Amino acid sequence: MIEKIDLISNRLKELIPKDNNYQKKLFEAANYSLLSPAKRLRPLLVLTTLEAFKKDIKIGIDPALSIELIHTYSLIHDDLPCMDDDDFRRGKPSLHKAYPEWLAILTGDYLLTYAFEIITKANKITDKQKVDLIQSLTKYSGGFGLIAGQVTDLSFEGKKIDFEKLKFMHLNKTAALFIAAVEFGCILANAEQDIKLKFIEFAKSFGLAFQIFDDISDTEDKKSSDIKKDKATAVTILGLKEAKKLASDLQEKGLEILKKLPLDTNDLEKLILKIS
Ligand code: GRG
């Protein structure tokens, strides 16, 4: 795992142009958010999936980082006063607190755009793989993925919602980028369709479990802005005990899917166990 984390951290430092032109503040702001301490779960999931097929993980590094760029843009925009209005992110003041709000919006836009450019320029992968990666990323970050999740999250605020609606929101807001990550690994490994579908099921369980564990720790630490904003979570809908059971069941389901795959899933097992 350390080898993959090092690969991610080192390449991330090289990604944003060292430019001294009039827009240098944009690149400074992008690095402020991107290089702050973070778990890097999504790029790790791309590389770990690829590794399960015994492929060279280096071919996946730039595609893997494109998902981290989309994730970082979504955090920057989510923190804005018009959305979740959070003052801190990744252990530091949110981007709009450290820089003007307009620059935070534009930095998010830049990371979103740059993510796709990086895929087009990736080395050692075919044009067909690039098109497939771009198609996957547009799907999971767009109006039937991450953005759908954010729209429902903001429109449900202050409302009583049932578990079905919560699941829709979490599958899109949180699980979608984890699904993109395993799909990236499968595309890069030229995996068969039936194996890819099993990975997608695994990522749904991974993403939902991750979000529910996050809700549980927020409730136990009483620190979340979701609690302050009267947002529904698995804990408010199901209660703490049921939410804990559901998160562990989903984690168990993910492990079961991995065990049935004809691949070396050792590090994937470690990754899903890490989220609890
Ligand atoms: C603005 C389109 C748009 C979407 C925003 C990411 C997001 C959607 C909202 C952030 C708030 C939130 C609770 C999202 C759920 C997923 C989650 C827990 C994100 C944080 O991911 P981590 O823990 O963060 O992987 P690091 O900083 O480690 O990368």
pLDDT in tens, 122-158: 999 999 999 999 999 999 999 999 999 999 999 998 8
3-state helix, strand, coil in the chain (%, to 5): 75, 0, 25
Task: Say whether pTM exceeds 0.85.
Answer: yes
Task: Write b or e for each residue in 141-171: b if 16 or more Cβ atoms lie within 10 A of its Cβ, otherwise e.
Answer: beeebbbbbbebbeebeeeebeeeebbebbb
Atom of ligand 1 nearest to the CA of 108: 1
Read off the pLDDT of residues 189-235 as tens digits, 9 standing for 90 and up.
Answer: 999 999 999 999 999 999 999 999 999 998 888 665 555 567 899 99
Verify whether ligand 1 is closer than 6 Å to residue 274 (CB atom).
no
Amino acid at 38: A
Assigned architecture for domain 2-274 = Orthogonal Bundle (1.10)
CB count in 10 Å sphere of residue 96: 24
By residue count, the chain amounts to: 276
Give residue 75 CA to ligand 1 midpoint distance, Å.
5
CB 74 within 8 A of CB 146: yes
Q: What is the pLDDT confidence band of residue 76, given thresholds at 50, 70 and 90? A: very high
Residue with the nearest Cα to atom 22 of ligand 1?
A: 39
